Amino acid sequence: MIELSDLVLGPEVEASVLSVLRSGRLSQGPTVAALEAGFAELCGTRFAVAVSSGTAALVAVLTALGIGPGDEVIVPAFTFVASANAVLATGADVRLVDVGADFCLDPDAVAAAIGPRTAAVMPVHLYGRPADMDALARLADRHGLHLVEDAAQAHGARHRGRPVGSFGTGCFSFYATKNLAAGEGGMVTTDDDGVADRLRVLRNHGMRARYDYEVVGHNWRMSELAAAVVLPQLLTYDGQVERRRAQAARLTELLAGTPGLVLPDVAAHQDAVWHQYTVRVKGGTGAMGRDALAAGLREHGVATGIYYPRVLADHACHRTHPRVHADPAPVAEQLAASCLSLPVHAALLPGDPETIAGAVREVLGAAGRRRRASHGYAGPTAS
Ligand SMILES: *Cc1c(COP(=O)(O)O)cnc(C)c1O
């Protein structure tokens, strides 16, 4: 089976974890500080503040920016639930708006959704591809809105050479399946001294100095063990991204022109980090479409994933939520019905892209033959 993601942690990670275990210091300490320094360098920001998860990063940033009840935050209709739930956790309202063919926030839809209560825009750099930060940063600037980047899937991605997480306040995740993985963990990037300072206080029970509790905070600290798992991965991350890029380019080359498939098309000025390689299957969810392709690929030993099968407003937790407001999102709905992620990751073997592409062509080809037969069309050679 070619798995959709496969984490291979080498001897450097084992050594790094062992040295933390032997140090006797398990909570936020020198390893977390070293990870923060390395991460700030990756993102070209003055500060990086480690937290306990990507979700904690989002909630902490919104809180540090003073966003709460009465405010509204613009979130893409097509993303992981945590993007919206982080906003709801602060007491603010969520405004769900449509995305574009790049799977990320559509700047025109954002412009139309901005109102008097809008406090922030949250672009999500989905699948490791940067959102249209030219237009979104311009909009945020013009309307005086905070830009909170959900970069949980996009460590090191760049838009016109500039790293994501450096346009506004960046929120990253080290969940087990992300490009940089600790099991659990998160990071915030910012150039703003005040925001970095508030985050450091908020993540540690609001404590400024020993027993000096300045604000009501939380426990959003990262453990030394989590930092020890990520730090060695960060040192070799460029190589991992290169491998993902090469696999994605190879898949695109092999799958080009496949009928029924729309391949991921990333603009030349954007460097995606290929957290996922996501195609769109034209037949929708039906018997000849996305779900049939996923089932067929499984039979051929190729795992796939659907990120995400529904738009946020379609989930029980958001459908009737009084603080979730959903604008029409026809593109997001179409993507939810047609997206399928194929394996691209550090542990793929040479030849795997060929196996994956061959299986896709075979399954779609068989479906195409069935479709033509059921329409009484016997193929191009019949006369
Ligand atoms: C993973 C993810 C999160 C949440 O990160 P956790 O570390 O799992 O809390 C938020 N947004 C997006 C887009 C994600 O993919």
Whether the CB of 186 sits within 6 Å of ligand 1 = yes
Give the pTM.
0.95
- Residue ranges with strand state E in 174-307: 186-190, 207-209, 212-213, 261-262, 270-271, 277-281
Q: Whose CA is nearest to atom 1 of ligand 1?
A: 152
Spatial contact of 38 and 63, defined as CB atoms under 8 Å apart:
no
Whether the CB of 124 sits within 6 Å of ligand 1 = yes
- Give CA–CA dist 171/104, Å, rounded: 16
pLDDT at 138 over 90: yes
- Percent of the chain exceeding pLDDT 70 equals 96
- Give CA–CA dist 282/280, Å, rounded: 6
pLDDT at 383 over 50: no
pLDDT at 365: 86
pLDDT at 369: 74
Alpha carbon of 14 to those of 9, 10, 17, 20, 264: distances in Å? 8, 7, 5, 10, 36
pLDDT at 382: 38
Distance from the alpha carbon of residue 182 to the mean position of ligand 1, in angstroms = 13
pLDDT at 230: 98
Mean confidence (pLDDT) of the chain = 95
- Give CA–CA dist 184/49, Å, rounded: 15
Q: Whose CA is nearest to atom 5 of ligand 1?
A: 54
Residue type, 32: V
pLDDT at 380: 47
pLDDT at 78: 98
pLDDT at 354 over 90: yes
Confidence band, pLDDT 50/70/90 cuts, at residue 283? confident
pLDDT at 126 over 70: yes
Confidence band, pLDDT 50/70/90 cuts, at residue 144? very high
More confident residue, 381 or 20: 20
Number of Cα atoms under 13 Å in the Cβ half of residue 368: 14
- Give CA–CA dist 244/249, Å, rounded: 9
- Give CA–CA dist 365/371, Å, rounded: 10
366: tokens are 């068989």
Whether the CB of 264 sits within 6 Å of ligand 1 = no
Burial (CB < 10 A; 0-12, 13-18, 19+), residue 350, is: exposed
Whether the CB of 123 sits within 6 Å of ligand 1 = no
